[in-house]
Structure 1
Amino acid sequence: MNLYHLKYFVTLAHLEHYTKAAEQLSITQPSLSHAIASLEREINIRLFEKEGRNVVLTRAGKNFLTDIEKALALIDESINSIHLSEIGEGCIDIAFHKNMAASFIPNLARKFLNEHTGKNIDFKFHYDSESTEELIKGLYSKNFDFIFCSNKINEKNIEYIPVFKQRAVLLVPEGHPLADKESVSIDETLEYNHILYTKNHTLSEKLSSYFNKKESQTTISYKTEDVNVITPLVAGNFGISIVPENNSINLTGVKSVEISDLDWQNTVYMAYLKSSYEIPLINDFKKFIEENTINL
């Protein structure tokens, strides 16, 4: 379907006069008549009917006009978005796990915006994905430009950049005997009920292995994948919990304590789809991340 023919149709629909429409479009009247006739043949619908010296839309033509104006507006919006991205402007779509240390990502985005003042740049954040597999699918379907994930999946078309490392911390309720300590050893936590965080497999496996060796001293009161479930349980004095450090969770009624002897760190990666062509905005953000990652 010829895009110009659709634009000619919209102009004629509003002016209802071939000569006036042709003048506004800077084409001849026969060319306009030919274009409209060609469009009607292509879709097999009568779009106009004569009314004196003018033409008016048929009922089908009115419905067609509504849809075509929406479609042309979307096309114009898309073209404008592409033009913006070509000059280092536009929108960047970022996705990450909802249990991740999420404030780190908006803070990076804000720093990027501060370094590019005067440019029309926006971010969209997506944080509903439960797994890295879901995030990877979003990259392949072009729903996201970048994802932040805590494990690497071997995909030849995906590039990973290590961004920062998470350590594990102990969450205890306020007023707990361990709450005022700057740091504790794992052995100091064994006499208390534990809530086991199972979302991060390497951490949960390490803790489970350690607790199994100390089975007579340790009680696992709950297991959950959601750190936002753990914090109210800890605040309610239903147990203490060792979780990846996450400065975006609600710590009301909870204290975070360092663990002195837990040899565990979790690398968070930024991943993107490899491409032979990268628009300037995406390339600018990728370089920015590479320059602002913590030395790993």
Structure 2
Amino acid sequence: MESIRRSARGEGLIRLGLLRTLGVEFVPRLASAFLKAHPDLDLQFTFHTGVTQSLLDGLSKRKYDLVFCSHPPDRLNFTAVPVQKQDLVLIVPKGHPLASRHTVDLAETAPYPQIFFDKSSGIRAVVDQMFSDINTEPKIAYETEEDQVIAGLTAQGFGIAVVPYMDLLLKLDLKILQINTPACERNLFMVHDSRIFLPPCVQHFRQFVLDSTVLPGQELI
């Protein structure tokens, strides 16, 4: 009975799955603000990171209440709301022929070996679509899941790569180029299964995220 009363008061556990890049600031900031907004409630979070496919698998298996990741495939029938965007950039090793540039058209990268996200990463479809939009076939030399690994491989000369901008890039021996064409933004979403009952505390947190964020391209309030 006590657990029922706690749930009715909006107390309980909120299980989140998230992309690692969103665990640096975005999700922790939201969770912290939510706790500060409800100091009288007994609220707890769990945080689990992974690539989009593993997060969606976990959501399907009810391991998570909400996940923050790339857009889920329509076949899953999940509810997805855009909550953030990431700018995509091209990174190249120092000394690369493109390293003297500040901006680049993606078509200009075609002659060079590239490091791609593997197909389990939600961003892979975004980058694939960018190359498809310009009718260009990239030379994929390596594939891996994590953007940090891609950045490290690029810094060591294994290839060039399209990645989300992150502060880590500034610490590596890389040149960061803005991509002029095609469009190079990645939307990130808060996803849940609307067919599954969400405990009141999860419902309240989800609404808090919606109230605290606006459409991609805008800033978090």
TM-score, normalisation: structure 1: 0.58
Give the gaps of 5 or more residues in structure 1: 1-78
Q: Does 1:159 align with 2:79?
A: yes
1:238 counterpart residue number: 158
1:148, CA displacement in angstroms? 1.7
Cα deviation, 1:173-226, whole Å, max 9, x if unaligned, reads 35656557553333554565432334334334235547874x7xx754433343
Counterpart residue identity of residue 121, structure 1: L
Q: Answer yes or no: is the 8 Å Cα contact 1:96–1:127 preserved in 2.
A: yes
Please name the residue that 1:113 is paired with.
Answer: 35
Name the CA distance, whole Å, in 2 between partners of 1:83 and 1:249.
48
Q: Quick one: which amino acid aligns to residue 171 of structure 1?
A: I
Question: What pairs with 1:1-296 in structure 2 (closer than 5 Å)?
Answer: 82-98=4-20, 100-103=21-24, 104-128=26-50, 130-132=51-53, 134-154=54-74, 158-174=78-94, 182-187=102-107, 189-190=109-110, 192-198=112-118, 199=121, 200-206=123-129, 208-209=131-132, 213=136, 220-246=140-166, 251-274=171-194, 278-296=198-216
- Could you report, residue by residue, the CA deviation over 1:117-164 in whole angstroms, capped at 9, with x for unpaired residues? 343322111114x443x4344334432111122122336763222212
Unpaired stretches in structure 2, ≥5 consecutive residues: 217-221
| Most deviating of 116-125 and 144-153 | 116-125
| Residues 84/179 of structure 1: CA separation in 2 closer, same or farther (3 Å cut) | farther
- The answer (yes or no) to whether the contact 1:94–1:147 under 8 Å persists in 2 is yes
Distance 1:287 1:236, change over 3 A: same
Deviation at 1:83, TM superposition (A): 3.6
* RMSD after superposition: 3.5
Q: Which has the higher strand share?
A: 2
For residues 155 and 195 of structure 1, what CA distance do their matches in structure 2 show?
A: 29
Q: Distance in 1 between matches of 2:195 and 2:132?
A: 42
Query: Residue type of the partner of 2:11?
Result: E
For residue 20 of structure 1, what is the aligned residue in structure 2? none
Q: In the superposition, relative to structure 1, how do residues 139 and 207 fare at CA in structure 2: closer, same or farther (>3 Å)?
A: closer
- Count of residues paired in the alignment: 212
Give the greater-gyration-radius structure (CA).
1
Contact kept, 8 Å, 1:102 with 1:246, in 2: the verdict is no
Residue 43 of structure 1 corresponds to none
Give the SS at the match of 1:287.
Answer: helix
8 Å Cα contact 2:89/2:178 also seen in 1: yes
Per the alignment, in what secondary structure is the counterpart of residue 129 of structure 2? helix
Structure number with higher relative contact order (C-alpha < 8 Å, ≥ 6 residues apart): 2
Alignment CA distance shift 1:225-1:85 (3 Å): same
What's the CA shift string for 1:83-114, capped at 9, x where partnerless? 4332223221001245x544322232223223
Larger deviation, residues 237-246 vs 134-143: 134-143
Q: Distance in 1 between the 2:55 and 2:18 partners?
A: 7
Aligned partner of 1:105: which letter? V
Do the aligned partners of 1:96 and 1:149 also contact (CA within 8 Å) in 2?
A: yes
**TM-score when scaled to structure 2?**
0.73
How big is each residue's C-alpha offset from its partner over 1:25-53, in whole Å with a ceiling of 9 and x where there is no partner?
A: xxxxxxxxxxxxxxxxxxxxxxxxxxxxx
Q: In 1, distance between residues paired with 2:18 and 2:41?
A: 25
Give the percent of matched residue pairs that are identical in Structure 1 and Structure 2.
31
State the Cα distance separating 1:275 from its structure 2 match: 5.3
With over 3 angstroms needed to count, the CA separation of the structure-2 counterparts of 1:195 and 1:135, relative to structure 1, is closer
